[in-house]
Structure 1
């Protein structure tokens, strides 16, 4: 489901499905339309990979988890119900797979990011109008400082932050994906952002 590479490039969606909603595509895939799956994969592969990569911090592990997530999508297609955004459902699968991995692999993992992956997260966060200092990131040094600050967040805060920054999930969707209350998800985001602002004060 996609080869490992440093600066990941999403698969091009099928032109036949380009304008269809994610939920419609998932239902079409469940009915046997493989082109619909290819379009979903092309739309969301990169965001899911960034989310798991920023959580485990090792590219090979992130690649394996990405594959596991999309296998889970395929396995679950028959029972899929469009009761929430497809993206929320997808990142719930990613969260569950990540938790399983961390539960069975209690080991220290080091970050080995290159310029492209550093800039990818910085660029993603730059579009988030609720995180002012990040919009001013302009150099590799600043991007590296952001990555380091995200790395230092407690897991729950980092996950909530990345689900919003990379997954484009709302607070309610983060709560749903991680199995916590709205207030808990909101609190984790608030603490994460406060910590990141403190670490990035020199770039404000």
Structure 2
């Protein structure tokens, strides 16, 4: 059987993604993630590649914004999928596959932080510099500055609040799923998200709204 990682490389799937401003919520898909993972257990490489294509964007954006360093995010991205591949025999559909995937991602990031205490000081993310079609230069400049303010505000959040915010906005998880991934209660996740949103809105000089 050809290793999944080799198959992905041969398909030329891109590993780098630039985080966008708009966040897309995941849509219901068929077959279900858990069914694909069980098929992968039985040796169906195509099932794994479907899972990869389905979730690689959200996973990479999450890791990129957590690390704030492109090379580190790409390394962690590879590490997460490698762990998923190695753990396929032990996978049980007791929770959503995305919960399983992002719990692995969070653990990989925690290990990264422990081994690299200066990770937050090595920022290597440059907001997109290309103007949108038909966009005036002044508007493009304002958008770039807004993105920089947002990135700086994200970095200023406590780790717990930043993690909950990114899981909610980047990955589209519900509060229940976030609580499961982070190991906290739903109300704790909701409180962290509320505080994160308020701080970010204050930093962006936007009026606060009720979450």
Superposition TM-score tier, normalisation by shorter sequence: 0.7 to 0.9
The Cα offsets for residues 15-59 of structure 1, whole Å up to 9 and x where unpaired, read as xxx842111111111111011111111111111111111111111
Give 1:6 deviation, angstroms. Answer: 5.8
Counterpart for residue 43 of structure 2: 32
Unaligned runs of at least 5 residues, structure 1: 9-17, 120-137
The alignment's C-alpha RMSD in Å is 2.5
TM, length-normalised to structure 2: 0.76
Aligned counterparts, 1:43-122, within 5 A: 43-107=54-118, 108-116=120-128
**Distance of aligned partners of 1:36 and 1:116 in 2 relative to their CA distance in 1, 3 Å threshold:** farther
TM, length-normalised to structure 1: 0.78
Unaligned runs of at least 5 residues, structure 2: 6-12, 20-28, 132-141
How many residue pairs align between the two structures?
A: 177
Comparing 156-165 and 183-192, the one that deviates more: 183-192
Secondary structure of the structure 2 residue equivalent to 1:139: helix
Counterpart for residue 128 of structure 1: none
Q: Give, in whole Å, the separation in 2 of the partners of 1:118 and 1:144.
A: 14
**Distance of aligned partners of 1:104 and 1:187 in 2 relative to their CA distance in 1, 3 Å threshold:** same
- The structure with the largest helix share of the pair is 1
Give 1:172 deviation, angstroms. Answer: 1.1
User: Does the Cα contact within 8 Å between 1:52 and 1:66 map onto a contact in 2?
Assistant: yes
User: Does the Cα contact within 8 Å between 2:64 and 2:73 map onto a contact in 1?
Assistant: yes
Moved over 4 A (4+): 1-4
User: Does the Cα contact within 8 Å between 1:58 and 1:112 map onto a contact in 2?
Assistant: yes
**Distance of aligned partners of 1:118 and 1:172 in 2 relative to their CA distance in 1, 3 Å threshold:** farther
Counterpart for residue 185 of structure 1: 189
Counterpart for residue 135 of structure 2: none
Aligned counterparts, 1:87-166, within 5 A: 87-107=98-118, 108-116=120-128, 139-166=143-170
